[in-house]
């Protein structure tokens, strides 16, 4: 064992451990969850340490041998070595200081292990020109940006699949429903296209909110004033970091604002919440339209994925939309957490970024995987029961709505009531009683007339 000391006191640390006393204190202080800090945040912090070492050396504040040792250690960590050394909890007090120090300690000790003749300080060397208050939020944004392309691709997959279904069922009539009651007809082509448009809005929102994450406060150090960082470091650190990360980060115009205010996280979380809400509504519709198969709507046939009951033989449940619903519930909850954490920031710093990043990264990942699952295991093989849909439209008395410009609202209402009472189709009653010319009846009840605006025409008197 080795003995390490900090401002609190001394602690024994395993000789083989790359982490140090600050990491151990965090593990002991925050036994909230077994979940550790997200590996993407760790990797982003390591990238920052590497860029800082290079720029600090160029600024003349870090010796060349220390620069080389730090960069070598960072490269090894970026290759995935010693991943088990990053052990601080995901949920932690201290505004991310424990995560930052875990990385500082591991980089410093690994550099010393590789270069025993050097003494490298986690604070003075690895953390030079930095503060947790600019490195941790920058690393969190980098982690979110790393996951963002996978999320947007998943949204695009949903859109593409729905558009393909729209083309496949372009002319398939179905009964519309408002407030769970029969409404005027539409087509499944237009239904699927409407869902696609909804997710296109989500895609735009997520992309736009994601762009705000590229604005970072790196170089602002403790509160955004840049104390202990050189002007050279402030001017060049993002150039080096962008060269290594390819994330196109840029410095905030006001580093003090960017250090203390977390509204960009609320905006990004809000975009994901809107996506979650739409996914949940869509999943509700899938479950309802696929309900049955005998005593439900049964307009859609959802692919059977697994047996649905331990007691009822042959029962199959809509398990894929159900799991998407649950992901949506979780993401909406995460958004509430992010909102409250951003609001709770005080003065020059928000101390609650650890829980924000934990939930934002989880939401990104859950949404991406939920949409991939939805496409792969449900949407691609979903089919429409076209014959049943056509029969339902034929039987639906509400199709008489197209008659109101010709018969008037009250006369059409009476016709609908009669059709329901006699269990006859409105079209059949019209033809039997010759209320309108037969050719006009056929035209009015054609798919084009039932699902599109009518052409202006003078009111026809009853025959």
Residue positions annotated with a catalytic role: 309
How far is it, in rounded angstroms, from Cα 403 to Cα 113?
Answer: 86
269, β-bridge pairs: none
**441 phi, psi to nearest 5 deg:** -60, -45
b/e for 319-356, b at 16 or more Cβ within 10 A?
A: bbbebbbebbebbbebbebbbebbeebeeebbbbbbbb
Q: Which residue has the tokens 């519930």?
A: 329
Q: Residues near 248 by Cβ (< 8 Å), separated by ≥ 6?
A: 214, 242
Alpha-carbon distances of 260 from 45, 116, 162, 233, 242, rounded to whole Å = 19, 40, 42, 21, 23
Query: Bridge partners of 300?
Result: 384
Given a contact cutoff of 8 angstroms between Cβ atoms, the answer to whether 50 and 71 are in contact is yes
Closest alpha carbon to 154 in 458, 368, 8, 312: 368
Please name the residues in contact with 194: beta carbons below 8 A apart, sequence gap of 6 or more: none
User: Are 191 and 170 in contact, with CB atoms under 8 Å apart?
Assistant: no
Q: How far is CA 334 from CA 364, 387, 396, 450, in A?
A: 11, 43, 43, 43
In three-state secondary structure terms, 99 is: helix
Of the candidates 54, 461, 437, 456, which has an alpha carbon nearest to the alpha carbon of residue 242? 54
- Measured CA to CA, the distance from residue 228 to residue 155 in angstroms comes to 43
- Burial (Cβ within 10 Å: 0-12, 13-18, ≥19) of residue 126: buried
Residue 419 token pair = 């059709």
């Amino acid at each position: 064992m080795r003995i390490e000391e900090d401002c609190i006191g001394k602690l024994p640390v395993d000789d083989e451990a790359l982490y140090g006393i600050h990491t151990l204190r965090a593990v002991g202080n925050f036994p909230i969850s077994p979940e550790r800090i997200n590996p993407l945040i760790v990797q982003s912090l390591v990238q920052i340490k590497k860029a800082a070492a290079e720029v600090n050396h160029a600024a003349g504040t870090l010796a060349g041998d220390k620069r080389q040792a730090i960069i070598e250690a960072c490269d090894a960590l970026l290759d995935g070595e010693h991943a088990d050394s990053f052990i601080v909890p995901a949920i932690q007090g201290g505004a991310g200081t424990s995560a930052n120090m875990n990385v500082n300690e591991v980089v410093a000790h690994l550099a010393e292990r590789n270069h025993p003749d050097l003494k490298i300080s986690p604070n003075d060397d690895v953390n030079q020109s930095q503060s947790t208050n600019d490195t941790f939020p920058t690393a969190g944004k980098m982690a979110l940006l790393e996951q963002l392309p996978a999320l947007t691709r998943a949204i695009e997959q949903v859109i593409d699949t729905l558009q393909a279904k729209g083309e496949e069922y372009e002319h398939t009539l179905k009964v519309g429903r408002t407030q769970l009651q029969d409404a005027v007809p539409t087509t499944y082509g237009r239904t699927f296209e409407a869902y696609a448009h909804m997710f296109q809005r989500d895609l735009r929102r997520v992309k736009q909110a994601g762009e705000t994450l590229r604005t970072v406060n790196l170089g602002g150090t403790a509160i955004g004033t840049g104390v202990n960082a050189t002007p050279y470091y402030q001017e060049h650190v993002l150039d080096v970091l962008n060269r290594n990360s390819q994330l196109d980060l840029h410095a905030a115009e006001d580093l003090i604002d960017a250090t203390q205010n977390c509204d960009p996280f609320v905006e990004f979380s809000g975009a994901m919440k809107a996506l979650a809400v739409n996914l949940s509504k869509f999943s509700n519709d899938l479950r309802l339209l696929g309900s049955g198969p005998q005593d439900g709507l049964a307009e859609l046939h959802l692919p059977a994925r697994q047996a649905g009951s331990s007691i009822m033989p042959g029962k199959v449940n809509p398990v894929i939309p159900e799991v998407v619903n649950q992901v949506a519930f979780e993401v909406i909850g995460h958004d509430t957490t992010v909102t409250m954490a951003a609001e709770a920031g005080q003065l020059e710093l928000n101390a609650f970024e650890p829980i924000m990043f934990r939930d934002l990264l989880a939401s990104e990942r859950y949404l991406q995987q939920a949409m991939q699952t939805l496409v792969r295991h449900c949407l691609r093989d979903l089919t429409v029961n076209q014959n049943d849909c056509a029969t339902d439209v034929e039987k639906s008395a509400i199709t008489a709505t197209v008659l109101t410009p010709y018969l008037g609202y009250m006369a059409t209402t009476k016709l609908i009531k009669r059709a329901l009472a006699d269990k006859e189709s409105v079209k059949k009653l019209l033809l039997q009683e010759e209320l309108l010319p037969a050719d006009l009846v056929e035209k009015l009840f054609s798919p084009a007339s039932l699902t599109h605006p009518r052409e202006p025409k003078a009111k026809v008197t009853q025959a």
